[in-house]
Structure 1
Amino acid sequence: MDNFSSETATSDRRGFLRGSALIAAALVGGVAQAKTRAAPGSAPSSFGSIRQVDAGVLDIGYVEIGPASGTPVLLFHGWPYAIDAFAEVAPLLAARGYRVIVPHLRGHGTTLFRSKATPRNAQQAALAADGIALMDGLRIPKAIVAGFDWGARTADIMAALWPERCTALVSVSGYLIGSQAANAKPLAPAAELQWWYQFYFATERGKAGYAANTNAFNKQIWQLASPKWAFDDTTFDRSAAVFANPDHVEIVIHNYRWRLGLADGERQYDALEAKLANAPAISIPAITMEGDANGAPHPKPEQYRAKFTGAYAHRLITGGIGHNLPQEAPAAFAQAVLDVAKLAR
C-alpha cells in the first residue's frame, strides 16, 4: 500500500458474521500462558468470564479469545465505555487466528490497584505503561495495538514510545498524544463548548456530581458522542457495570484535571511525558479511522497526517457512525486490524 491512502467504508455491522461457526469456536479458544486466574465474583461481560493478571501496579482484568499461538492483538476501550465495545470485533479477529486480549483500563471493571498507597493517577503515560505491563504480565513480546478514545491515546503512546513492542496500530480519531502545555492553550468558543465535561470535572461540584450520577452522566456522553447510534438500555447497562469499580471516579476526575494542569502526575512518568510533549512521530504501520457522525471532540485527519511516518491509511466510516466506532461498526474496525497486520509483514 502507498505511504498514504484515504478510504471510505460503510458500516456493514454483520459483514463478517457469516463465519458464525468459526466465531463460536474462537470464543472458547486459547488462554494466557502466564499465570492468570479467574476474577472472583465478577459479573460476566458479553464475552463471558474475566481473567486477572498481576501487571505492574495493577491487577488487570481482561478477556482473551482465539488461539494462544496466534498473533497477539490488544484492544483498548475508552471512557465512558467498556471492554464490551469490542464484543463483536474480538471474535471476528479470533476467527481469523488472532490471539485477542481486551483489558479493563485502570478504574474500570475488575482492574484494581495492588496497593492502597498507589496514587489513583490517570495521566496519559500511566495508562500506556499499563499496556506494556499487561504485555509483560502475559509474556507477550510484541502485539498489534488498537483502540478508541482513551484507548486510542494509549495505543498511540505505546506505538510512539515502545515501537519495538508494537507490530502495528489502529487508532480511532488518529493522533491523540497531548501535553499539559498544549492543553493550556485556549480554543475557539465552539471547540471549548465540546469540552464542557472537562471543565465540570475541574470543580468539586463536578466530582460530586459524577459520583452521584455516574451512569446517567455516562449515558448522556454516549448520546452526545454518537448521536445516530440507537443503542438500547441493555447495551448501555452491560457496559455500565464496569463503572462500579471503586477507583472509577478518582481515575476519571484525575484524567481530566491532569490534562488541564490542575492535578499532578507521578514523578516516575516525567521523562515519558517530556517525550510526549514533543509530539513524537509514530513510525510503525498504522491505520486511522473516523466515524462520519462522531459527536465528540476530535481532530481532523489532515491535522495529524504528518505524525505517521510509516505505511499508513485513513478510513472514514460512513452510515451515521459515532465515537464508539468498534461497537457501532465492528466489521470495519476488525477489517482495519486485519489490513494493518498485512502492512506490517
Structure 2
Amino acid sequence: MHRNTVRTDVLDVTYEEHGPPDGAPVILLHGFPYDVRAYDEVAPALAADGNRVLVPYLRGYGPTRFLSPDTLRSGEQAALGHDLRQFMKALGIERAALAGYDWGGRAACIVSALWPERVRCLVSCTGYNLQNIAASVEPAPAAAEHRLWYQYYFNTERGRAGLTKNRRDVCRLLWKLWSPEWTFDEATFERTASSFDNPDFVDVVIQSYRHRYGYAKGDPLLEPLEAQLAKQPVIRVPTINLHGAADGVGPASDRDGQADKFTGGYERRMLPHIGHNVPQEAPAETVAALRDLMKETPQ
C-alpha cells in the first residue's frame, strides 16, 4: 500500500493505493463519520485480484486539504460528486468500479447517475443515495426523525460547538447507534478518529447537514450540478445495494422501493447483523459484491 496525494481543482486529495498501477481501477469511498480505514480488509483483497485500488480521504477528513482559504467548506452532495469526478480526472482514470457508503455512497451514486460512461459498476450501501432536497422539508415519521437527532443538533450553534469540542465523543456514539451489533474496540475507533482532526472537518460536516434541509447556502459554483441532482436522475450502471439489516440510521424495509432508480441491472443484498459501516463490518461481502459485478462488466 502506498499513500499519495493528487491535486484537483480545489483540493489536495490524499489517498491510499493498493495493487498494480496498470490494474483495473476500483475506487472505494468512505462516509461520515469514518475514513479510509473502513476498507482495510477490502482493498488488499481486491488488489490481490490484480486491480488498482484507490481509497481517498474525502474533503474535511485526514490529510486531504483545500487549496484556498476562500473555497466554501461545503459538504453538500454536489461537492462530493464533483470531488470524485475531479479525482478521477486528475489521475487520468477514464472508467472505474465504484463502491461507497454514506457520504461516499452519495458521491459514487452521483457520478454513476450523471456520468455513467465513467463507471464500470457500482456497489452502493443502502442503495440510491442522492438526496431529494426539495422533499426534505416534509416531516418524516417520528421513528425516522428520532434517528436523525444528530442532524438537528448540527443545525444549531450548540451542535457546531459540541462537534468542535467533543468530536470523538459524538462520532463514537454515532458508531454505536448506527452499528448496534458491531463490537469495535477503542483502538479501532482511534485509528479513524484522527481523521476528524482535519481543520475543515467541522465546517464541512455542519454545512452538509444544514444544506440538505435548506438552512445553509451551497457553493455557487456547484449550483448547476445541484440542479441536475434535483431531478433525481436514475442510475444506469450495474449496481449491487448492500444493506445492513441492523443499520441503526437507515433501516432496511422488507420491500425494496428503490429498484426503479436503477436501470442498468440492480440487486439488493441484505446483510444480517450488519450495521451502517458495511465495508468494515462485512468486508467479505463487500469484496464479493465487487467481484461479482466486475466479472459481468468489461474493464
Same fold (TM over 0.5): yes
Task: Count how many residue pairs are aligned between Structure 1 and Structure 2.
Answer: 297
Are the aligned partners of 1:179 and 1:273 in contact in 2 as well (CA < 8 Å)?
no
Please name the residue that 2:162 is paired with.
Answer: 209
| 1:314-333 map, 5 Å | 314-318=268-272, 320-333=273-286
Deviations, residues 80-124 of structure 1 (Å, cap 9, x unaligned): 001000000000000011100000000000110001111111110
Q: 2:113 is aligned with what amino acid? A: A
Please name the residue that 2:258 is paired with.
Answer: 304
In 1, the alpha carbon distance for the partners of 2:142 and 2:127 equals 23
Residue 24 of structure 2: which of 71, 78, 87 is its match? 71
C-alpha displacement of 1:185: 1.2
C-alpha displacement of 1:299: 5.7
TM-score (norm 2): 0.97
Deviations, residues 44-73 of structure 1 (Å, cap 9, x unaligned): xxxxx5311101200001000101111100
The alignment status of 1:179 with 2:132, answered yes or no, reads yes
In 2, the alpha carbon distance for the partners of 1:273 and 1:344 equals 29
Instruction: Name the SS of the counterpart of 2:258 in structure 1.
Output: helix
In 1, the alpha carbon distance for the partners of 2:82 and 2:179 equals 29
Q: 1:283 is aligned with what amino acid? A: R
Unaligned runs of 5+ in 2: none
Residue 223 of structure 2: which of 267, 270, 294 is its match? 270
Are the aligned partners of 1:156 and 1:282 in contact in 2 as well (CA < 8 Å)?
yes
| 1:7-18 map, 5 Å | none
Instruction: Name the SS of the counterpart of 2:257 in structure 1.
Output: helix
Instruction: Name the SS of the counterpart of 1:272 in structure 2.
Output: helix
In 2, the alpha carbon distance for the partners of 1:223 and 1:140 equals 36
TM-score (norm 1): 0.84
In 1, the alpha carbon distance for the partners of 2:296 and 2:236 equals 12
In 1, the alpha carbon distance for the partners of 2:212 and 2:105 equals 16
In 2, the alpha carbon distance for the partners of 1:283 and 1:60 equals 28
The Cα RMSD (Å) is: 1.1
Unaligned runs of 5+ in 1: 1-26, 28-48
Residue 62 of structure 2: which of 104, 109, 115 is its match? 109
The alignment status of 1:199 with 2:157, answered yes or no, reads no
Please name the residue that 1:133 is paired with.
Answer: 86
C-alpha displacement of 1:343: 2.6
In 1, the alpha carbon distance for the partners of 2:3 and 2:19 equals 15
Deviations, residues 203-254 of structure 1 (Å, cap 9, x unaligned): 0001001100000110000000000100000000000010010000000000
Q: 2:220 is aligned with what amino acid? A: R
Please name the residue that 2:11 is paired with.
Answer: 58
Are the aligned partners of 1:311 and 1:343 in contact in 2 as well (CA < 8 Å)?
no
